[in-house]
Structure 1
């Protein structure tokens, strides 16, 4: 057999691994060809229960902007489980391609629109600095070669991307303003909030944003949102803040305008973490610095491979 024939056989035999998770009798399917993408799906319900509780507060009339959507795990959850209309913003090329595939295989094309761009406080063509080069990778940085703590860090590679000020997303691309916003971009969350400031002064029901209280720029962003009338649930924030390690100080803060909504999200979060054996197992693995052990354990997911079309 010639080398070319061997290569051709390999190319023709390529398959994708599909992982299906069922929540409330609704299936969600994801392509999981890398260990990290598989881990994201296996830990979907246990890694960020506060995010799930927040998403569960939404309904079909809502519009979500998922900024830093990655491969779309929370995008798909919002669309499939809650019927929310979602605009998913992801600038990294590998992640954007996989995000679109996940949208297609879940048949939510009418509910979800993926946009290949970053957000910041200005509209410009910039570099996206990449620190990993595989599908589902994170900790990439739009416009600045920095890490999640805003410290200089040498990147592995870069790609040119469009970055938009949030209000320009609406004015130039005619994308409707959201009722809810998720921001998780591992660093420049404060710049994105600044770029949305004119909108956030008076509108938007809630914002979930990953901030680090150890970073001055992030503390200032939180103060800005408070000045716009947003409130947070202090106990939920304290419960979910990372207490040690590289991510010490990091927390998904949920800013809302309605205190009753904040309390409802917290109660749903507590009900889950107090009664979920899966969450307890996951937290125990994290305490032992062995999250991979949870991924390797037995789960009630469905796995299958399909040949690429």
Structure 2
């Protein structure tokens, strides 16, 4: 019951649901009932003319059914920042929500990285159904500071990660790991998203050349906002990005404005890091509006 109440509170408090809480709860109820009556993949409308494939148990995906856009502030930043001739890198792509937004709603070129084979298949399915295979290069590998073979959990949906506990005996898989610099091969993105469940500092450590290039405008990095201070992984990320001229901030999609913050964003799971603020703000202000669940932002 506590988990249900938490989910319902999350849904009605989401920024896109403020003016239609009844509709958001109806979407939740319809999915819960429908997915039990007719279990299996369902094609769901998404931003503008894009779609995504949802199945029961895909928590990170189905949240977008209830809210329209689960990571609203971060996804809105991506949509308002990127342009069709830009390159976006999605590290820890999962089923491809960010990839679909960048390639499908904007038309950007995307490099997506997802280490778990079963999840990678879902990513590829979402790429195909949105007809953006020509825009996306998908890699079924992990990223870190160097080439290696590492063991990952394989049964935790969006929470799969590198195993650093030698006593772990749950479902796992060995995955080839490379560095972002090696994958990019001198290509430089305008935006990078990194969501790798505590492995972010290792990905950053393998991105030395990429971070130094001034064409990279920003990063969306997963950090646990519920924790008061920076943990060891987050501190390493923050120090490295700060040394390369990036500063943490929050984004308001309604006013299209950035607000500097001291370190990580304690109001969400991700933190935005940006540099060349004047160029970014000009892009944000001039971006078109995007449609989702009868809303425009």
Q: Is the TM-score greater than 0.5?
A: yes
Is contact 2:152-2:174 (8 Å) kept? yes
Query: What secondary structure sits across from 2:168 in the alignment?
Result: coil
Aligned counterpart, 2:161: 141
The structure 2 residue matched to 1:253, chosen from 268, 271, 279, is 271
The structure 1 residue matched to 2:174, chosen from 160, 166, 188, is 160
- Matched residues in 2 for 1:153 and 1:46: separation? 37
Aligned counterpart, 1:21: 45
The structure 2 residue matched to 1:109, chosen from 110, 129, 133, is 133
Alpha-carbon distance, 1:230 to partner? 1.4
The structure 2 residue matched to 1:119, chosen from 113, 138, 143, is 143
Matches within 5 A, 1:294-305: none
Is contact 2:109-2:135 (8 Å) kept? yes
Is contact 2:198-2:233 (8 Å) kept? no
Matches within 5 A, 1:109-258: 109-132=133-156, 137-142=157-162, 144-145=163-164, 154=168, 156-171=170-185, 176-203=187-214, 204-212=216-224, 213-233=229-249, 235=259, 241-242=265-266, 251-258=269-276
Is contact 2:39-2:55 (8 Å) kept? no
Is contact 2:82-2:190 (8 Å) kept? no
- Matched residues in 2 for 1:170 and 1:38: separation? 27
Given the superposition, is the C-alpha separation of residues 260 and 181 from structure 1 closer, same or farther in structure 2, using an over 3 Å criterion?
same
User: Normalization by structure 1: what TM-score?
Assistant: 0.67
Given the superposition, is the C-alpha separation of residues 38 and 123 from structure 1 closer, same or farther in structure 2, using an over 3 Å criterion?
closer
- Matched residues in 2 for 1:262 and 1:200: separation? 16
Aligned counterpart, 1:3: none
- Matched residues in 2 for 1:62 and 1:40: separation? 27
More displaced 10-residue stretch of structure 1: 35-44 or 91-100: 35-44
Is contact 1:60-1:82 (8 Å) kept? yes
- Matched residues in 2 for 1:96 and 1:39: separation? 17
| CA radius of gyration, larger in | 1
User: Normalization by structure 2: what TM-score?
Assistant: 0.70
The alignment covers a number of residue pairs equal to: 241
The structure 2 residue matched to 1:41, chosen from 45, 64, 69, is 64
- Matched residues in 2 for 1:224 and 1:166: separation? 15
Given the superposition, is the C-alpha separation of residues 35 and 99 from structure 1 closer, same or farther in structure 2, using an over 3 Å criterion?
closer
User: Deviation digits for residues 83-111 of structure 1, max 9, x if unmatched?
Assistant: 11111100011100111111111111101
Alpha-carbon distance, 1:140 to partner? 1.6
User: Deviation digits for residues 251-296 of structure 1, max 9, x if unmatched?
Assistant: 411112222355578889xx99xxxxx9xxxxxxxxxxxxxxxxxx
Given the superposition, is the C-alpha separation of residues 61 and 265 from structure 1 closer, same or farther in structure 2, using an over 3 Å criterion?
closer
Alpha-carbon distance, 1:236 to partner? 6.7
Query: What secondary structure sits across from 1:207 in the alignment?
Result: strand
Alpha-carbon distance, 1:155 to partner? 5.5
Q: RMSD value over aligned CA atoms?
A: 3.3
Query: What secondary structure sits across from 1:214 in the alignment?
Result: coil
- Matched residues in 2 for 1:44 and 1:155: separation? 36
For structure 1, which runs of at least 5 residues remain unmatched after alignment? 1-13, 147-151, 244-249, 273-277, 279-298, 301-309
For structure 2, which runs of at least 5 residues remain unmatched after alignment? 1-37, 251-258
Alpha-carbon distance, 1:36 to partner? 2.3
- Matched residues in 2 for 1:186 and 1:159: separation? 16
Matches within 5 A, 1:264-283: none
